Structure 1
Amino acid sequence: MESWGWWLIAAGALVVGELFAGDFVLLMLAAGAAAAGLTGAVFGFGIVGEALVFAVVSALALFFGRPWIKSRFYRTSHQVKIGVSTILGSEAVVVEHIDAESGQVNLSGELWRARPYDAARSYEPGERVRVIEVDGATVLVGRD
């Protein structure tokens, strides 16, 4: 088998490796190997020319292509809230008198045990409060 064929096999292996790695480095090296294999097959470059094409294309892909691809895949502007972070800051309606001992709020249609964030405060049914902290299955609430 000629050298360009080995470059194409290496490109395929690098793509498979990227499926397990997921950091886009192997994908950029695969692009370099594919470019080396194709230029060797089309233009008849020898192993030295193919290695040079591999080095140049891989370097360009790593320094320019990888950051662009990562920015597309790992955008931070659309972070999904999960767990406790979904209710922090939410508005709730007091259902049962809240003091330092007990209380209950309706939070997005669910009943939660509640205590005041400031232990000296108390809230009456019907008042609107905001979730400041979560302590296990109890929300600590307060006013804005």
Structure 2
Amino acid sequence: MPAWLLWLIASGLFAAGEVASLDLVLLMFAGGALGGMSVALLGGEVWLQLVAFIVVSTALLVVVRPIAKRQLLDRTPEQIDGVASYVGRTAVVSERVDEHAGRVRLGHDEWTARTQLDGEAYDVGDEVRIVQIEGPIAYVSHT
């Protein structure tokens, strides 16, 4: 089996291991294995392939990994996802909403809705703001 193919397989195994660890270390080793594969394709000796692997892996670990990790960590805490992303958005009443029942349309989705305060009610076509979501129910108020 040619050496370049072994390096390619090693790179794939490192990349697959990265999926399990999510620490961005094995991914840098995968890049180093691609460096070793490149030297093998150019006809370099095994020791040169190993040197390429070590140099590329080290460079990726020292330069790329900290930048990539910082980018991932800096953006994740502020990211709002799931149903929390709907809070604050406006919706249109599709079935009269009061404290007991109702429905609103938010984009292409339709939600069961209730008013936030007792005594409030909104008629079909009214625009409301989603103020809270608990399970399948969106609590709404004035826009």
State the TM bucket, normalised to the shorter chain: 0.5 to 0.7
Counterpart for residue 123 of structure 1 = 121
Is 1:36–1:51's contact at 8 Å kept on the other side of the alignment? no
Q: TM-score, normalised by structure 1?
A: 0.60
Deviations, residues 36-62 of structure 1 (Å, cap 9, x unaligned): 5467x34x6x73x65444322321133
Q: TM-score, normalised by structure 2?
A: 0.60
Q: Tell me the distance in 1 between the aligned counterparts of 2:41 and 2:107.
A: 59
Counterpart for residue 27 of structure 1 = 30
User: What is the SS of the residue equivalent to 1:93?
Assistant: strand
Which one has a bigger Cα radius of gyration?
A: 1
Is 1:18–1:27's contact at 8 Å kept on the other side of the alignment? yes
The structure-2 alpha-carbon separation of the partners of 1:84 and 1:54, relative to structure 1 and needing over 3 Å to count, comes to closer
Counterpart for residue 16 of structure 1 = 12
Q: Tell me the distance in 1 between the aligned counterparts of 2:41 and 2:68.
A: 23
Counterpart for residue 54 of structure 2 = 55
What is the identity, as a one-letter code, of the residue corresponding to 1:20? A
What is the identity, as a one-letter code, of the residue corresponding to 2:33? A
Q: Tell me the distance in 1 between the aligned counterparts of 2:103 and 2:49.
A: 71
The structure-2 alpha-carbon separation of the partners of 1:115 and 1:37, relative to structure 1 and needing over 3 Å to count, comes to same
Q: Tell me the distance in 1 between the aligned counterparts of 2:137 and 2:61.
A: 49
User: What is the SS of the residue equivalent to 2:91?
Assistant: strand
- 1:88 equivalenced with 2:87 (yes/no): yes
Superposition misfits of 4+ residues, deviation over 6 angstroms: 68-73
Deviations, residues 2-26 of structure 1 (Å, cap 9, x unaligned): xxx65x3542222221442344233
What is the identity, as a one-letter code, of the residue corresponding to 1:123? A
Aligned length: 133
| Structure 1: gaps spanning 5 or more residues | none
Q: Tell me the distance in 2 between the aligned counterparts of 1:31 and 1:61.
A: 12
What is the identity, as a one-letter code, of the residue corresponding to 1:29? G
Q: Tell me the distance in 2 between the aligned counterparts of 1:9 and 1:107.
A: 52
Q: CA RMSD in A?
A: 4.2
